[in-house]
Amino acid sequence: MEKLDLITSTYQERYTLIGEDGKPTNVVKEHQITTDSKVPKLGLMMVGLGGNNGTTVTAGILANKKHLKWETKRGEASANFYGSFTQCVTTKIGMRVGKDRDGNSIIQDVYAPIKSLLPMVDPTELVVGGWDISSLDMYQATKRAMVLEPDLIRQLKDDLSEIKPLPAVFNISYIASNQEDRADNVKEGTNRELVEQIREDIRKFKEANGLDKIVVLWTANTEKFYEKDIATIDELDKLIDSNASLPASVLYGVATLLEHCVYLNGSPQNTLHPAIIQLAVREGAAVAGSDFKSGQTKYKTCLLYTSPSPRDRQKSRMPSSACKKKKKKK
């Protein structure tokens, strides 16, 4: 159902609830889902803009927008959105009656591209900006990252050189010490002042580019876990106002939500405290994310943390003699 500038839909969630007595109860729960019918002009502000993820995303958007081709050691490559959920994936939308090769009636599944179901932003129209503790422009940062092919970087030199990161919030207590050497582009101030500076950055970026909405994406280094969960908004405010040592990601999250923007956390850190979730609900904004990892990378991480080390495996290996059955003494 479409009403004014909104598209609304009712979704029924069905599940079985098992009671304390062990008896099952079927539950139907209705959810009202609303989305804008107008596609917004969208800005993407990345924290860690000049890192491996930020440079790759930015160059990928530009390469697709320009329909570029470039040489690699395996031959010519061209820009595409392979692997993109919104741009490449299809989903089942229903069924229809069709015919098989012999003319018999059969039921066929019908699929449609995800991007055709709802009004969606064209990724090539994203306006990219953000923050980084290094002052290198995106061309120099992309070269430093050594992820993309030199021929592609060469073709994007002019576009990337125009993108310069804003000074970033930096707390060395929560990230790897090897990042300190490149930190020549950092903000200064108390926690509350830093939050206000980030808010001002978001407002200026939105106004300068004529944006309707902004998504802030944490793509910087993974931070050390904060010592405990921040339970309430009051507790969060006290920590900020007392200038307690807080992870930069928490300050970015607070500033983003106070500007009613979406905040996405791309690192496996405990940024989304209960207080951050409560703030998102209060401000009518959205937060999401716990890690960029998926697929084989996630699988390898699981193996890393669950498999014993070579030394442990050596210790746990039973000697061959232990496998032999011992003869019972007569």
> What is the structure's pLDDT at 323?
43
319 pLDDT higher than 60: no
Closest CA to 264 of 198, 217, 221, 220: 217
User: What are the pLDDT digits (tens) for 139-164?
Assistant: 999 999 999 999 999 999 999 999 99
What are the distances in angstroms from CA 145 to CA 49, 92, 226, 259, 272?
Answer: 11, 39, 28, 31, 28
Which residues fall within 8 angstroms of residue 318, CB to CB, at 6 or more apart? none
pLDDT for residue 176: 86
> Has residue 50 got a pLDDT over 70?
yes
Residue 188 has pLDDT above 80, yes or no: yes
Q: Which residues contact 313 (CB under 8 A, 6 or more apart)?
A: none
pTM: 0.83
Under the banding of pLDDT at 50, 70 and 90, the label for residue 5 is confident
Q: With a cut of 60, say whether residue 327 has pLDDT above it.
A: no
Confidence of residue 303 (pLDDT cuts 50, 70, 90): low
Given a cut of 90, whether residue 318 has pLDDT beyond it is no
Residue 21 in contact with residue 192, Cβ under 8 Å? no
Q: For residue 105, what are the β-bridge partners? A: 99
pLDDT computed for residue 118 by the predictor = 86
pLDDT higher than threshold 70 for residue 39: yes
Whether 129 and 163 have beta carbons less than 8 Å apart is answered as yes
**pLDDT higher than threshold 80 for residue 254:** yes
- Segment 73-87, tens digit of pLDDT: 999 999 999 988 889
For residue 63, give Cα distances in angstroms to 59, 71, 123, 149, 150.
6, 13, 11, 12, 13
Residue 282 scores a pLDDT above 60:
yes
| Stated length of the chain | 330
What's the pLDDT band for 294 if we cut at 50, 70, 90? low
